[in-house]
Amino acid sequence: MAYSLDFRKHVFKIKEKESLTFQELSDKFEIPIRTLFRWKNRLEPKTKRNKPSTKVNMEALQKDIEQNPDLFQYERAKKFGVSQSTIYYALKRLKISYKKNAISS
């Protein structure tokens, strides 16, 4: 559960006003003390993660798909050194799906 910025500011105003320790503040609002220390360092909630979205080079994957269209996901995963599910999600981001027809002509 994310707490609003207004609530976070309110908690620290009360801490200053009543000269409470972090433990007393934790007991009063029933918020874990570790959360209060985290808020002390960074009051605003994080909205984005600072992490690359993928382990796979998407351009290299696109080229590999063009050169080897019939490879299975687990074979691509072995080739790129990642798991099969990583390849699955990367293909999904590229909006590529290979569905085999049950009826062949």
* Contact present, 8 and 43 (Cβ < 8 Å): yes
Amino acid at 40: K
How confident is the model at residue 11, as a pLDDT? 94
pTM of the complete model beyond 0.75? no
- How far is CA 89 from each of CA 49, 77, 92, 95, 105, rounded to the nearest angstrom? 18, 11, 5, 10, 31
* Contact present, 74 and 84 (Cβ < 8 Å): yes
How confident is the model at residue 22, as a pLDDT? 94
User: pLDDT tens, 36-53?
Assistant: 999 999 988 877 777 666
How confident is the model at residue 53, as a pLDDT? 63
Check pLDDT > 70 for residue 18.
yes
